[in-house]
Amino acid sequence: MLSFIIRRILVSIPLLFLASIVAFILVINTGDPLEDLRTKQPPTPAATIALREHQLGLDKPPVERYVSWLTKAIHGDFGKTIKNQPVWDEVSRALGVTLRLVLFAEILSVLIGVTIGVISAVKQYSWFDYTATTGAFLLYSLPVLAVGSFLKYVLAIRLNRWIGRADDPLIKTIGEGTPNFCTPSKPYNCGFIPATTDFLSHALLPTLTLVLISFAGYARFSRASMLETLNADYVRTARSKGLSERRVILKHAFRNALMTVVTVISLDFGALIGGAILTETIFEWHGMGRVLVESITKIDPNLLLCWFFVTAVAVIAFNLIADILYAFLDPRIRLD
């Protein structure tokens, strides 16, 4: 098992290296970071432009830029943004915001999705199955944009108005937290309870959006996976041994169905580290999704490169975790 894990990690390193090259090619083709400076009226002095080019390393050939970026990145230095802030500070802050949103939402959608999927499979063709399968299919097909906007504009804003709290909304529709919530001037806000309440009232809508969109996928997937194991020979054997139905379903069918579900969850989670871009935009959270959008809009090469790097690491790491989990859960997988 250990040698399997080590081998998988070793295979991942060249993949990450190649991914960083692709990311670099994408970044240098995003556009000219100094576009604004060059087209400004009155014209910027050539010396200023040359200085900025030098600061951002734009005066060097691409290969040299890549090598110098890589050497620094390996040592943990991701350079500066175009506003001269350290890139890593910005990315790690955004990563924290995104994790707060995504972790919570992912756990909830897995719990709800898997439960619904398993019940649907056990009671196949019952009214529950039909309702759940159709409902899951509808939600699965709806655009995030529509679900998020509906929750924000139609439900939350009206609800806040209806209960007479339009100015100090009960359900917050903007941002990941109240700005300057806990400052020395407002010490009463710094306790655990006010901080948690503030977080929850901000997190409710984006979390709900993500859960509504992604639980449906897990429900569909675990239903299919569970149906497969319920029809397997070993489940028939378990039944014919006279085990209770509860035991057959939970210990024999569910455990085996879970193997594939766990892999899918792990892969999805890796993809979410890049930020729930649309959800973050609709509810104006400043997470990884916003970092991506802003770094592209403002053409910020180092920030965008770091974003690509962090997401690539996340995707590869969770691929690895999925592989290892699968090998660990299913002894039939050959490790060599």
Helix (H/G/I), strand (E/B), else coil: 79:
coil
> Cβ 228 to another protein, closest distance in Å?
10
Count how many residues are written for the chain.
336
* 143 is a contact residue toward another protein (CB under 8 A): yes
Given a contact cutoff of 8 angstroms between Cβ atoms, the answer to whether 206 and 280 are in contact is yes
Does position 163 interact with another protein (CB under 8 A)? The reply is: no
| x-marked contacts with another protein along 24-43 as a string, rule CB under 8 A | --xx-xxx------------
Residue selected from 6, 39, 135, 137 as contacting another protein according to rule CB under 8 A: 137
Question: For residues 30 and 237, which CB has a smaller minimum distance to another protein in the complex?
Answer: 30
Task: Collect all residues with Cβ–Cβ distance below 8 Å to 238 and sequence separation of at least 6.
Answer: 247, 248, 251, 252
Smallest gap from residue 191 Cβ to another protein (A): 34
By beta-carbon proximity to another protein, the closer residue of 262 and 312 is 312
Which residues, at least 6 apart from 13, have a Cβ–Cβ distance to it below 8 Å? none
Degrees (nearest 5) of the Cα angle 92, 96, 97? 120
| 198/294 with CB nearer another protein | 294
State how far the Cα of 96 lies from the Cα of 82, in Å rounded to an integer.
Answer: 22
The CA distance from 157 to 165, in Å, is 9
Taking the least distance from each CB to another protein, the nearer of 205 and 238 is: 205
Q: Looking at beta carbons only, is 107 or 138 nearer to another protein?
A: 138
Contacts of 98 (CB under 8 A, 6+ apart): 272, 273, 275, 276, 280, 285, 287, 288, 289
Place of tokens 């024999």: 252
114 near another protein, judged by CB under 8 A? no
238 vs 315 by CB, closer to another protein: 315
175 scored as a contact of another protein (CB under 8 A): no
Q: Which listed residue (102, 229, 308, 320) binds another protein by CB under 8 A?
A: 308
Task: State the sign of the Cα–Cα–Cα–Cα dihedral 303, 307, 310, 316.
Answer: negative
Q: How far is the CB of 281 from another protein (least distance, A)?
A: 6
| Cβ proximity to another protein, 204 vs 296, nearer residue | 296
> What 3-state class would DSSP assign to 58?
coil
Q: Is 111 in the site for another protein (CB under 8 A)?
A: no
By CB under 8 A, residue 82 contacts another protein: no
Q: Which helix (H) or strand (E) holds 280?
A: helix 277-282
CB-based burial label for 329 (10 Å; 0-12, 13-18, 19+): middle
Name which position in 49, 58, 112, 149 contacts another protein (CB under 8 A).
Answer: 149
Q: Is 151 in the site for another protein (CB under 8 A)?
A: no
Asked if 189 interacts with another protein (CB under 8 A), we say no
Q: Is residue 145 part of the contact set for another protein (CB under 8 A)?
A: yes
- Quick check: 138 binds another protein (CB under 8 A)? yes
* Binding piece for another protein, criterion CB under 8 A, among 57-65, 86-94, 142-150, 211-219: 142-150
Integer angstrom CA distances of residue 111 from 218, 269, 270, 319: 9, 14, 18, 21
Interatomic CA distance for residues 51 and 134, integer angstroms: 60
Nearby residues of 58 by Cβ (< 8 Å), 6 or more positions away: 33, 34, 52, 65
Which region, judged by CB under 8 A, interacts with another protein, from 78-86, 176-184, 195-203, 271-279? Answer: 271-279
- The residue type found at 294 is E
Pick out residues in 275-304 that bind another protein (CB under 8 A): 277-278, 281, 292-293, 296-297, 299, 304
- The site for another protein (CB under 8 A) is made up of 15-16, 18-19, 22-23, 26-27, 29-31, 133, 137-138, 140-146, 149, 153, 157, 224, 271, 274, 277-278, 281, 292-293, 296-297, 299, 304, 307-308, 311-312, 315-316
